[in-house]
Every structure is written in structure tokens, then in C-alpha cells.
Amino acid sequence: MTRGLTEVYLRDQRVWDSCALVYEDRIVGGHPDVTAYECFEEDLLDRVLLYLARECGRTVRLYDVGCGSGRLHLRYGMKIADAASLSPPESDRVRAARHGNPAYMFDPLLAERLVSVGGVDFSAQMLDIAREKLQAAGLSHLLGSRLTFDQGSAFDLAPMDAEPLPLVVCVCNSIGVMQGRAGAVELFKSVRRAIEKAGGIAVISAYRLDAVESFALGNYESTMDVCGQPRWLVPDTYASDSFLQVPRDYKRAYDTGSSIVVDVYNGEFSTGKSGHVLKRDSKAVQIVVETGHIQTYSDYESYWYSFDQFEEWTSDYWPADESYHIAGADLDSLRAEPVQLAILDPTGLLRQLMNRWKFQAVENRGSGE
């Protein structure tokens, strides 16, 4: 990394370590629009994994770049854990975690073909939460063998072996919190380096710039207890790290409201002010909508990149005949409206599946979905 990129990387690492616990509660386990996006990604990865296992007969290594608190580790760890072969209390924990969640049910094919789920993240606090979550779900027997974590940089991925087939993913706009455009370029290069010689597959999933006004503004406003008060909201009376501002409600996509009500806490979660009203500064909002650069008073930064920018990176850093750039709404107009996907497939393993998705996209447009 360059010196400038390293400095931003270290700052962001501190930010994510500090917000890890509340992020797990308010984002991973909370915001409805984020949850919808995550569910779309998980269903899509299910389709890719099952296609590779069933139709291509491959064994697969899934590797999550920017894995955070281990969302994919938990999902696929549950799918490959055979509770019948475990002794209490792990078997009881697995069954309890599966209760009411069909996505966590045992899948014999994936248990055989999904050899491992790995991941890398720069936040030690996030990785600690991930390990604790897996242990609580009864997956301790898989930790360190089929479920692994690396603390490090997404920009330093080493070339992977061809067997099992590497499927490297960077999901839920993790690229948007990887130190700006310079970091995004490094990510595109890094995942190509990791999978190209092995003939593996890479997937980068991200938000789009044109969804900032309809999705991002309300999303960040209603989760400011995670990453801090967005800089487009005024006043900044309680914007410092000395206070915690907790929004009373989630703002959903397309909410046009220009204000939000928060309760302010200080010290040991003692009340600072109840019913504090924050309002949008129209000029600051316009800059965010135009640039996709989201900033808060807690040094948190995120970027929502345009479709054209993603197309440029895909073309510049991945071979054109080996890659795809797709609007999420073409695959799932309800859950993936603000999303875009870049997919690298050097050996054409996914070609048949991509043709099915293209047909689905055409059908969706024709039916007006």
C-alpha cells in the first residue's frame, strides 16, 4: 500500500474496532433494507455454490474478503454441520440456532462439497465477535478447520490453489469502506491475483451511486448510533464521541423526511437529551448525492460508486471476456434495487448460469418487474 492509503487504512481499522459491537446489533441484526440486501446476496451465493457442486461436480473453498463478524461463516457453517454426529451441548446449540431458520438447515451436498469457509478482515474486534457467534451456535468443532479467519488486509490476498475451487467474495458494499477509490482499485487487483491462476471465481457486491438519495441517506441517519452522526445533519451539538445518539425509528428506502428524532446519551448510558431533532442541510445532502461520499463525525467513511465507475474498474483490471457487471435489480428488483455485482470467471465455469441470469433479466424487464 502507498503511504496515503496506509494512513487511511489504519484510521478505518480504529473506527471499525470501536463500532464492532453496536454494528453487530444495529446493522447485522437490524436495518430492514440492509437485511434485504444481505438475503439477496446469500440466496445468490447459494445458487452459485450449488451450481458448482451439483452441475460442475466441484469442491469449493469460499473466502469472504472483509468478512466482519462472520455472517457467511455462520450461514454456511450451519449448512455443513451435521447435528446428528455431534454430542451435547454443541448438537443442542446447532438445533437451537436452526429453529425457525430454514437457511441454516443441514445440506448434505454442501457438507460434502463446501470444503471450507475462510475470511479476512482488518478489525480484530469484528473477528472476535465472529468467533463468539460461531461458538454460541454450536460450531466450535469447525473453527480452525473448515471455518477460518485471517486478520489482515484485503489488498494482500495471495494466489490460491486450484483445488478446492476458490470462490472469493466481497459482499454488502465492503468495497465501499475500503479506503476510497484507491482501495477499490487495490481490491479489484487483489481478488484477481487470488483466483486467476487457480481458475477460481470472484464476486464483488456493492451499492450504486444513484441509490444514495433513495437508500443511503435514511439508512445512515437511522443507524447513527453505529457510525456516528452523518455530516449532512444539523446541528452537530452532540456529534462528538462523548455522546451516543440513538434514533427512535428506522428510516426506510424512499423516505423523504428531512429530519429524524434521536435520544442522546452520555457517560454510562445516562440520558443527555430526549427527543433531539436533527435536520438535513440541503447543500450538504446534494454533495453526498452527487459524490456518493458518506462521512460522519466519528471518522467513518463510505463510498457508493456509480455503475459507470464499476464498469471502468471491471474493464481496466479484469479481462473483458472473463468478467460480468450486472445491475442487482435485473436479478431481484425487490431486494437488490440499489445493488451492482462484478463477477470474474476466468475459465467460464459460470457461463451457463450467467446465461440463465441474463434470460431472467430480460424476462423481468419484459414483465415490468
Kindly give the confidence (pLDDT) of every residue in the chain, 369 residues in length, as a single tens digit, with 9 standing for 90 and above: 777 888 988 988 998 888 887 777 766 557 899 999 999 999 999 999 999 999 999 999 999 999 999 999 999 999 999 999 999 999 999 999 999 999 999 999 999 999 999 999 999 999 999 999 999 999 999 999 999 999 999 999 999 999 999 999 999 999 999 999 999 999 999 999 999 999 999 999 999 999 999 999 999 999 898 889 999 999 999 999 889 999 999 899 999 999 999 999 986 656 679 999 999 999 999 999 999 999 999 989 999 999 999 999 999 999 999 999 999 999 999 999 999 999 999 999 999 999 888 756 555 555 555
Q: In this structure, is residue 162 part of a structural domain?
A: yes
Q: In this structure, is residue 20 part of a structural domain?
A: yes
Q: In this structure, is residue 15 part of a structural domain?
A: yes
What is the predicted pLDDT for the residue at 49?
A: 98
Same domain, 132 and 82: yes
Last residue of a domain, one of 271, 297, 323: 297
What are phi and psi for residue 281, nearest 5 degrees? -90, 115
Q: In this structure, is residue 288 part of a structural domain?
A: yes
Same domain, 278 and 176: no
C-alpha cell at 349: 465455469
Same domain, 85 and 164: yes
pTM for the structure as a whole: 0.94
Same domain, 277 and 322: no
Same domain, 189 and 169: yes
Same domain, 128 and 37: yes
Last residue of a domain, one of 264, 297, 330: 297
Residue ranges making up the domain that contains 219: 215-297
- What CATH number should be reported for the domain holding residue 157? 3.40.50.150
Same domain, 106 and 148: yes
Q: In this structure, is residue 336 part of a structural domain?
A: yes
Can you tell me the distance from the alpha carbon of 201 to that of 96, in angstroms, rounded to the nearest whole number? 33
Same domain, 137 and 244: no
Same domain, 52 and 159: yes
Yes or no: say if 350 and 360 are a contact pair by the CB < 8 Å rule: no
Q: In this structure, is residue 183 part of a structural domain?
A: yes
Same domain, 111 and 226: no
How many domains, in total, are found in the chain?
2
Q: In this structure, is residue 239 part of a structural domain?
A: yes
Same domain, 155 and 247: no
What is the predicted pLDDT for the residue at 303?
A: 97
Q: In this structure, is residue 352 part of a structural domain?
A: no
Same domain, 100 and 193: yes
